[in-house]
Chains A and B, each alone.
With several copies, the nearest count.
Chain A
Amino acid sequence: MSGFDKVVGSYEEAMAGLEDGMTIIAGGFGLCGIPENLINEIKHKGTRELTIVSNNCGVDGFGLGVLLEDRQIKKMVSSYVGENKLFEEQLLAGDLEVELTPQGTLAEKMRAGGAGIPAFYTATGYGTEVGKGKDVKEFNGRKYILEESITGDFAIVKAWKADRYGNLVFRHTAQNFNPMAATAGKITVVEVEEIVEPGELEPTQIHTPGIYVNRLIKGTFEKRIEQRTVREA
């Protein structure tokens, strides 16, 4: 039975084995659906020279932004990094490398990495900086560039509910990059709001099957909102 019990007892255990220079794939879009406590554990651990693959880099003082404070990040692979000043500073100072990757290409690279597809052709980025130096091939009269997949030493993921088999369900738009990230880590670590009994999740409604999940931990979350926009009731 124990073989499928993915639950670990502490955040320290959840991130055990993370070493300097490793690549981490992180779920989340902006501050939505980010594994905030796993990120804090990485900060606490002090691991350095990290390559982080994530659509964004959090904000100053929250999310992946906290890893900038002690310069733990060597390189970001992201589609949009406009939310933090510290990021800009380190980038301009040459202390931080960034590989800007179109959002859809980034999502597809993670999926491909998890699915055993080493590379795929896409129209996105053809004729732009993104396409420079990449293989070009024509299909049906249109030109496409070859993009290679991404895998990570670790993937860090935030889900809503899980059972101990590691089956995951995401809440609302907090799904975003998390399911692809989950498939693309050599070690995939997931933190969730709630761990339910096996059988409570309907098999056809599981977003991420437990086969992709190595470690699971229940956390409590701040869920900071980046742009609170409301209308009159």
Chain B
Amino acid sequence: MSLSREQLAMRVARELQDGYYVNLGIGIPTLVANYVPEGMEVMLQSENGLLGMGPFPTDDQVDADMINAGKQTVTAITGASIFSSAESFAMIRGGHVDLTVLGAFEVDVQGNIASYMIPGKLIKGMGGAMDLVAGADNIIVTMTHASKHGESKLLPQCTLPLTGAGCIKKVVTDLAYVEIADGKFWLKERAPGISVDEIVQKTAGELVVPEVVPEMEF
């Protein structure tokens, strides 16, 4: 079975380390916050200017002046700091965020990522995504391995406008955990019950498959 959204988030959460400052993109990445391992503490950075993002507010805590980068009402945890957008992106672009998790439309064997625009269809803008992929050393892309129509999203070359060039090294999909190096995808783990054949078939870019491909653990 391909991973559920929750399982994807659980797998990504295994990459967390105690004391990490983490920026989570909209969608599946946001769910990662629900699976921080016990005894571990991470601090969430929201690029509109909040370090130490807490859970959604209760009804009586809702405050229009307290939102996250997805424009949702949120709270701040103890130890949080709040600052300007310039300061927020100084943090991000200066490489101070330990881990960035974001979604994508496509990635390719060169580590390129396309995630913000489908010409003629979707022209909303990149928001902070270009800054995040350019500023972080440690990025995890989460997405489905293929589109609804079965088209691979792990390509020899991205077809959509890029969000960033040569910046992606780790991809967690609903089928596999794949790393990118030396112009190739490297299969590291498969989702429980998913065959290597299915992953190979749904990966358009060159994929290096080791003799043994362990199943993901959560």
Contact = CB atoms under 8 A, between A and B. Distances in A.
A116 B94 contact: yes
Contact of A104 (B65, B81, B135): B135
Interface stretch (B18-26, B138-146, B181-189): B18-26
B96 A212 contact: yes
Interface in B68-85: 68, 70-74, 76, 78-85
Contacts of A117: 93
B151 interface: no
A82 B60 contact: no
A3 interface: yes
Most buried by B among A31, A103, A174, A178: A103
A1 interface: yes
A115 B94 contact: yes
Interface stretch (A18-26, A38-46, A66-74, A198-206): A198-206
Interface stretch (B3-11, B126-134, B170-178, B202-210): B126-134
Contact of A116 (B20, B79, B83, B93): B93
A102 B128 contact: yes
B59 interface: yes
A176 to B, nearest CB: 5
B19 A3 contact: yes
A225 B62 contact: yes
Interface residues of B, number: 75
Contacts of B72: 227-229
B85 A31 contact: no
Interface residues of A, number: 78
Nearest to A166: B79
Most buried by A among B20, B85, B90: B85
B131 A103 contact: yes
Contacts of A32: 48, 64-65, 67, 71
Interface string B123-167: 111111111001100000000000000000000000001111110
Contact of B49 (A30, A176, A212, A229): A176
A49 B48 CA distance: 29
A127 B55 CA distance: 36
Contacts of B90: 111, 114-116, 183
